[in-house]
Structure 1
Amino acid sequence: MSEPAPTLPPEILARRDRAKAWFEDLQARICAELERLEDEAPPELYPDAPGRFEMRPWTRETGVGGGTGGHLKGRLFEKAGVHTSAATARFSPEMAAQMPGADKDPSYVSASISLIVHPVSPRVPTVHMNTRFLSTAESWFGGGADLTPMLDEQRSQDADDAKLFHAAMKAACDPFDPEWHPRYKAWCDEYFFLPHRGEPRGIGGIFYDRHNTGDFETDFAFTRAVGEAFLDVYPKIVRHRMSEPWTDADRAEQLVRRGRYVEFNLLYDRGTMFGLKAGGNIETILSSMPPLVAWP
C-alpha cells in the first residue's frame, strides 16, 4: 500500500480542498436537479415512481482520500451517476513518467467531479461531464462536457440540442478568453472520436486538460463556469425532449448507439484508465457503462 505523500506545500493542499468543496456542492445541486426532472417526467411515458439518488461513500485503498458516488435508477433516467473524489497519494513509476512535475517526486493531490446520464427515452441525449484539479510539483485543471444524441436525426451540429449545448459551453469560455472555446471544442471533437469506426461519439462539446494559465483563481473560476453551464443547459434539453414519444425502432437505435459509448470508454477514455491505475473506486469509474446496450 502506498503511503500518503506529505511533500506538497500547504497552499497546494488548500487549493485542492477548495476545489473538493466546490465539486461536492456542484454534485449536490446536480443530483437535486436530476431528481426534479424525475418528478416532472410525464407519467403517460414514464409510469414508474420517480427515482432518487443513493449516495455511496468510498475510501481509497492506496494513499488517503475517497469520495461519494451518487447512483440513480429512475423512470426518466435509466442510469445516472454523479460522483466526487479526492486523493493525497503517490503515482506509480509508470504513471509518474507521464505526469508533469512528477518525475522527481510522485506525490500528488487531486479532486474531481464526474457524471454520466443515460436517459430511458431515445429522444433525450446521453450526457457526460467531468472537471478536476490535480497537482504534483505542477498544478492544472482538466475536464469538459459532451453531448451524445442517440438518434441520427439529432446528431447534426445544426440540430437544436447541439446548438444549445455548444452555445452554453461557448458562454462558459468566452469571458476568460475567446480563443478557448474554438480550441477546446476542436480538442473535444478530436478526443471523442472512434478511429476504428471512423465516426464521432456524439456532437461534442469542450474538452481540456493540463489547463494552467499561471493564475489559479482564473483557472478555478473557468472550471466552475463549465460546471454551472452544464447545470443550466442539460436540464433545458431534457425538458425540451422528455415529453416526445418514441418508437421501438428508436429504442433499438439507442441501444446500438450506446454500444459506441461502451467502445470509447473501454478503449480510449483517459479518465477510465487513470482511475483504474490510480486506485480509484471501480464502481464509480465503470458507472459510465450503459445499463442496456446492443451490437447488431
Structure 2
Amino acid sequence: MNQQEIKAEIRRLAQERNALLLAHNYQRDEIQEIADITGDSLGLSMEAARTDKDVIVFCGVHFMAESAAILAPEKIVLLPRPDAGCPMADMVTPEGLRQLKARHPGVPVVTYVNSSAAVKAESDICCTSANAIKVVNSLDAAEVILVPDRNLGRYIAGHTDKVCHFWEGYCPTHERLQVADVERAKKDYPEAVFMAHPECHPDILAMADHICSTSGMYDYVRTSADRQFIVGTEAGILYRLRRENPDREFILPTSRLICPNMKLTSLEDVLHSLQTLSPEITVPADVREKARTALDRMLAVPRD
C-alpha cells in the first residue's frame, strides 16, 4: 500500500475498532494529519479519559500512554511503538526519588507529567510545563522537590518564594538548543519573536520573548500581531503552527531540535496496532491509584 492507502485503511479500522487516534505535537507530520486530536501529553490523556471510544491509539512516547491508562483504566490503550521512550523520564527512578525524599522529609514532591507512572506514584502532585508555577505556588509548604527536569525546575524557582530542590534530569532535545543558535536566528530575523519551551536551558530562557508550553505556543501565535516567530522547541510543532497560521513565518533556530523517540512512530506502526490491538499499555492497580491521586491533585488546582 502507498501512504494514502495506509491512511485510508487506518481511518477505516479506527472506525471499526471504535478507536480514538491521539498524536502528540512532536509526532511526524503524517501522524498528526491522521489523528483525531493533537496536543500535549496531559491534554491528550484527558481526551482519552473523556471519550466514549473503546480503544485509544496514543502516538507518542511511553509515559504518555501510561498517563492515558491511569486516567482511562477501562479503555484499551495502545502505543504503536513501545520502544518510544523518554530519556528525561528515564533519568529518575522510584528508588532514586525515595532516596531524595528521605533527605528532605516532609517536603512535597511536584513531578512533571513527563515521568513514569511509578515515579508519579511516589509523588504528591503532578504538573505540566503550562501550569507548573501555579501548582507549586498552590502548595502550603516552604520547600518543594521538583522532578525530573532541572531546567523546568529552575524556571519555576524564578517564580516562587519556595525553596526548590531539583532532580538533575533534562530533555536531551531541548538541551541541544544553544545560545549561538538563537543569536544567529535573531540576527537573521530581527523582527521575529522568540518563543522558548521551559525545558530549554536557563541561558536560552533568558533570551526568550515568551516562555510557554507547546499548547501555549499555539495560543500565543493565534493572538499575536507578530508575523515571524523563532520556535524554541521540538520541530514537530511546526506542522500545526503552519497549518493554523499560513500567513505567519516560523523559524527553527537549529536542525538539532529533533526528538528521535517522537519520530519513531510510522503510519505502518499505527496500522499494525489497529489490526492487532497491540501493544497494549497497562499500569498495575496499586501504582495506578497512587499516580492518579497525584494527577487529580494537579487537576484540582484552579485555572485562570
**Larger fraction in strand:** 1
Query: Is TM-score (shorter-chain normalized) higher than 0.5?
Result: no
TM-score (norm 2): 0.25
- Between the two structures, name the one with larger relative contact order (CA 8 Å, sep ≥ 6): 2
TM-score (norm 1): 0.26
